[in-house]
Amino acid sequence: MNYHTPVLLDQVISELQPSIDKVFIDCTVGHGGHTQELLKNLAIVYGIDADKNNLTTATSRLNNPNFHPVLGNFKDIKNIWQKHIGKPVDGILVDLGLSNNQQSSEGGGFSFNDTKSIDMRLDPTIQETSAEEIINTYDETQLYLLFSKVAQEKFARPLAQRIIAARQKKSIKTGVQLANIIRDYYQSKHFRSSVDPATKIFMALRIEVNQEFENLNKFLIDSQDIIKKGGTIAIISFHSGEDRIVKNFIKQNNFKTTRFLPTQTEIKRNKLSRSAVLRVYR
């Protein structure tokens, strides 16, 4: 199996300083890449993920009695902590976004190449609104605001109009359909883009579907009640809006903080790390 490649791994581990009996929460355990290193240092890790498949993969991969998997959303960190831990923890890690397998899986609807779906819900059993619903029901202003504010897309207005014209002919039901509408617009205007022009719109839809900004804001506040005095919180984000939320929170609270970016060597090895920013605070 191809496991997700953890980003900024060395930096995360040297900041969290795992050792015997220290307790950590990995809020986005994914395939357990970061957690594996925490466990190697004999720490105890509670690993949360909203995606049942990823949590199952991590649990069998890690196969360690010091690992405690929890299916859930990190916005509920306080309830999860109360139920499973109950005493202040030494460190918390959040590695935002998606794992590589989620991004590329057929049927999840996150990928430009998905020919089956444009769903994007991390947990369709409890989340009501999918990206399919958003893209087929939001009016022009709602799409424009999502594309301009969250995606920071230069062509937010014409793309919203194109999407509405396309869906009037045929509902948008797959990643491929949506990506092609965006690509066609870019091509028709001879606009060039170094990454796929659909990238930002797909990311904005995912953020909207999974309420990622709201979840992060709630996490930042609630995590203060469960971390030890002097404990470490490490947050990796891949979107400037998310990073801004973290940066402002740290500033408002005057926390001691350090910021890390991936090295050129890491970016060469794993190009998905290129937009990562790690902020650590105590």
Ligand X SMILES: C[S@@+](CC[C@H](N)C(=O)[O-])C[C@H]1O[C@@H](n2cnc3c(N)ncnc32)[C@H](O)[C@@H]1O
What is the contact surface with ligand X in residues (CB under 6 A)?
4, 6, 28, 30-34, 48-51, 54, 73-75, 95, 97-99, 122, 215
Q: Nearest to residue 263, comparing CAs of 36, 94, 10, 33?
A: 10
Say which DSSP state 111 is in: S
The CB-of-220 to ligand X minimum distance in angstroms stands at 13
Complex with ligand X: residue 12 or 159, whichever CB lies closer: 12
Neighbours of 97 (CB within 10 A): 22
Element containing residue 180 per DSSP (H, E): helix 175-188
Shortest spacing between CB 184 and ligand X, in angstroms: 30
Whole-angstrom distance, CA of residue 108 vs CA of residue 106: 6
CB of 95 to ligand X, least distance (A): 4
Q: How far is the CB of 48 from ligand X (least distance, A)?
A: 5
Neighbours of 132 (CB within 10 A): 22
Nearest distance, CB of residue 26 and ligand X, angstroms: 7
Q: Which is nearer to ligand X, 100 or 161 (CB)?
A: 100
Give the amino acid at 171: S
Based on CB atoms, which residue is closest to ligand X, 9 or 166? 9
Cβ closer to ligand X: 94 or 181?
94
Residue whose CB is less far from ligand X, 90 or 212: 212
Residue 201 and residue 32: Cα distance in Å, rounded?
A: 28
CB 236 within 8 A of CB 216: no
